[in-house]
Amino acid sequence: MKIYHNTRCSKSRQALQLLQDKGAEVEIVEYMKTPVSRDELEHLITTLGIKPYDLLRKGEKIFKESYKDKSPDTYDWIGAMIEHPQLMERPIVVKGAKAVIGRPPELVLNL
């Protein structure tokens, strides 16, 4: 199992703790320190079954300042998340061919 984790995010910390409490072996990817590649992000989005726009944290300052007027369907949102990883919703937990966004954190238990 792999968690795309932001140590500064309480929901991400809660999700990780839930998994650890259940005894899950978890590989932690601190994507703020080591950003994901375009290929990896595209794979995550496909596995989640969502559009890139749906993975954005629209409440982030950088989104409001630089991206709120961009088209949800045609803008390169993957490029925006690579350039500004804080735009990526978190946590994302992947197990095999399944993935969930841990909002609320208890959703990670579905894996």
Phi and psi at residue 82, to the nearest 5° = -70, -40
Rounded Cα gap, residues 67 and 64, in angstroms:
6
- As a whole number, mean pLDDT of residues 67-81 equals 95
- As a whole number, mean pLDDT of residues 12-19 equals 97
Phi and psi at residue 31, to the nearest 5° = -70, -15
- As a whole number, mean pLDDT of residues 101-107 equals 97
pLDDT value for 59:
96
- The helix/strand/coil state of 29 is strand
- Pair type for strands 2-5 and 92-95: antiparallel
Active-site annotation holds for 41: no
CATH of the domain at 51: 3.40.30.10
**Model confidence pTM above 0.95:** no
Among candidate residues 3, 5, 9, 100, the one labeled active-site is 9
pLDDT value for 79:
97
What's the domain count of the chain?
1
For 56, the domain range is 2-110
- As a whole number, mean pLDDT of residues 28-56 equals 97
